[in-house]
Chain A
Amino acid sequence: MTDADAGRDIDTTEPGRAWTFGDDIDTDQIIPSRFLVSSDPAELGEHAFNDLRPEFAPNVSDGDFVVGGHNFGSGSSREHAPLSLLGAGIDGVVAQSFARIFFRNGINLGLPVLICPDADRIEDGDAISLRLAEGAVINHTADERYDADPLPEFLQTLVDRGGLEPYTRAKLGTE
């Protein structure tokens, strides 16, 4: 799976609507268990935040962003969670901190994930964009800029190569 599987290009520098969530949003909240019978990003996207925030899926647009508090994506390892966000049209997730498996799934899938201590300053509905390489979040609505943690070198290499799948194909010579 890469961003190409979501059927669209991701451009984090284009402003998009911020959908904000609180602390400890676990992957059961992002995509409830009963929808895991599918592996299709678009189908999963129709059920993203199904129980927690039913108005999300019908109203989200391509290029929007999800903003979390601390420990975003905790709990189950289901890669269906980041995949559902890609399928819903989300171009990136900003959070004050991430749970480990969600973060690595994001990196592996090519879903931009950015750790930003000031993510709680972003209001639901604000227009934001991300600067991944330099590590910054721009809040166009509030006219503010927040520092974010740039990715460690090894992870940046993975992202630059399009995620773990292209990286592995290069290793195996199956490109």
Chain B
Amino acid sequence: MTGKTISEKLLSEKSGDDVRAGDYVEAEVDVMMTHDVTGPLTFEVFEDVTGDDPELVDPDNTVITIDHHAPADGVEAANNHNIVREFADEYGAQQYDVGDGICHQLLVEEGFVSPGDLVIGADSHSTTFGGVGGFGTGVGSTDLGTTLATGELWFRVPETLRFEVEGDLPDGVYAKDLILKFIGDVGFDGCTYKTAEYGGSAVEELPIHERLVLSNMAIEMGGKAGIVAPDERTVDFLEAQTGERPEIPAYTRPDDGAEYEAVHSYRAESLSPQVSTPSNPENAVPVDEVVGTEIDQLFVGTCTNGRYEDIRVVADIIEGERLAPDTRMVVVPASRSVYKQMMDTGVMETFVDAGAIVQSAGCGSCFGTHQGVLGDGDVCLATANRNFPGREGSMTSEVYLASPATVGASALYGEITDPREVELNRYDDYVLEGVGA
């Protein structure tokens, strides 16, 4: 018998069955999350199935955020916010409000996710939690609403694609460039129903904020989960965030000889900064193929690249400069902690002085309804995760996806610019400063 992947081991543990890829299980879920868009439908389902005696099975691990239409961009959205608040209040769920941040960032910052946890979110980017060694996956509102009542959900045990990167990443190449490259190589549906397992020495060297990027965008190749095996850095990071040091369960490491559907191997030194052209994340090309493309708007933020370290990379590039004429830059921190850190370190001032717009924490224009939507024919370069037609506004607008470094460099010239043209920094997780990691 061959060895097992992380997904096979974790879902065996959570279901109590000895399962392999292709099996169906009902597994115990550790953390459940929904937000102001998918929440109201989730609550209807929960109340439908629980009948006369509605009770959350695990209120301490039921998290509800207000991040998509935050602050409210209309009366209906504001009413939905009140539905979230009333539900959380009535049933004792953990609720975060307007300005607290994006659901995926909050679950990590607030210590809800530990290595080995099975986490479901009524949001497709719930794959993010693989960056701290959890099995995170996006589900619908019916899935989530029933699980709030039962604590368990059905899963098909996924096959696994392994992405191995060995060596040292060159200047200008970040986790965002890796994941755009992976998506470009396997395609927009290349990992559908499957887990992406990321490994190799270059991945092991990545700080947690960059591992989260790899996991976050697994969904952009159809992935059910995207996991980096947790290590000492993971638990150092979580301890620094919460004061508690979690264990690393044995089932979060793949067996030797685990059976992968495919292994994609890369040499780090051969990789270059990537840009995904409109209108699909799979359209990844080396940056030099699109250098010179004129940009109207730059967007720095989202659950992919809205962390402090991402924003700092951009700030370092534009510090003391002005945005290129005829461009706008919108910065949306992923959480209030990120926002605070920007204030404490002078990053906020850098953006304001450069002529950028800094908004309150949340999903921003990645949700396409507010805080900087695009008009007809507008071209945006974004640190976001999706560039579908109309994703950030008009159906005739265009979105290019890239790393914070590429967005920062491009802000100086008003056109897509190779980040290796400017001086670049790379940051370890700031919460680990002084921890001795």
**Other A-B pairs beyond A39-B44, A154-B24, A172-B51, 11, CB < 8 Å:** A28-B390, A33-B367, A33-B369, A74-B188, A77-B139, A79-B41, A99-B192, A100-B222, A164-B142, A168-B149, A174-B52
On whether the beta carbons of B37 and A78 are closer than 8 Å, the reply is: yes
A152 contacts B146, C-beta separation under 8 Å: no
B45 contacts partner chain A, Cβ-Cβ < 8 Å: yes
Is B189 at the interface (CB under 8 A from chain A)?
A: yes
Residues of A within 8 A of B150 (CB): 168, 171-172
* B123 near A77: Cβ-Cβ < 8 Å: yes
B432 at the interface (CB under 8 A from A): no
- Which bucket holds chain B's interface residue count? 35 or more
Chain A residues, CB < 8 A from B122? 77, 79
Interface string of A135-175 (1 = CB under 8 A from B): 00000000000000000101100100001110111011010
Instruction: Indicate which residue in B44, B126, B388 contacts A75 across the interface (CB closer than 8 Å).
Output: B388
Q: Which of A38, A75, A168 contacts B76 (CB 8 A)?
A: A38
| Shortest beta-carbon distance from B34 to chain A in Å | 10
24 CB contacts below 8 A, A to B, read A1-B44, A1-B141, A24-B188, A26-B388, A28-B386, A28-B388, A29-B390, A37-B69, A37-B74, A38-B76, A51-B395, A76-B123, A76-B124, A77-B124, A79-B140, A83-B41, A99-B192, A99-B222, A101-B140, A104-B140, A105-B140, A154-B24, A169-B48, A172-B149
Are A100's CB and B224's CB within 8 A? yes
**Per-residue interface assignment for chain A, residues 24 to 36, with 1 indicating a CB less than 8 Å from any chain B CB and 0 otherwise:** 1010110011101
How many residues on the A side are at the interface (Cβ–Cβ under 8 A)? 46
Interface residues of A in 68-82 (CB under 8 A from B): 70-71, 74-80, 82
Is B391 positioned at the interface, with any CB of A under 8 Å from its CB? yes
Q: Answer whether residue A20 sits at the interface, using C-beta atoms and an 8 A cutoff.
A: no
Q: Please give the distance in Å from B141's CB to the nearest CB on chain A.
A: 4
Residues of A bordering B, CB below 8 Å: 1, 24, 26, 28-29, 32-34, 36-39, 51-52, 70-71, 74-80, 82-83, 97, 99-101, 104-105, 108-109, 152, 154-155, 158, 163-165, 167-169, 171-172, 174
Within 39-69 of B, Cβ neighbours of A (below 8 Å) are at: 40-41, 44-45, 48-52, 69
CB-contacts of B214-232 with A (<8 A): 219, 222, 224
Q: How far is the CA of A78 from the CA of B40 in the complex (A)?
A: 12
Known A29-B388, A29-B389, A38-B76: A164·B143 in contact at CB below 8 Å: yes
**Which of B38, B51, B139, B368 is A174 in contact with, Cβ under 8 Å?**
B51
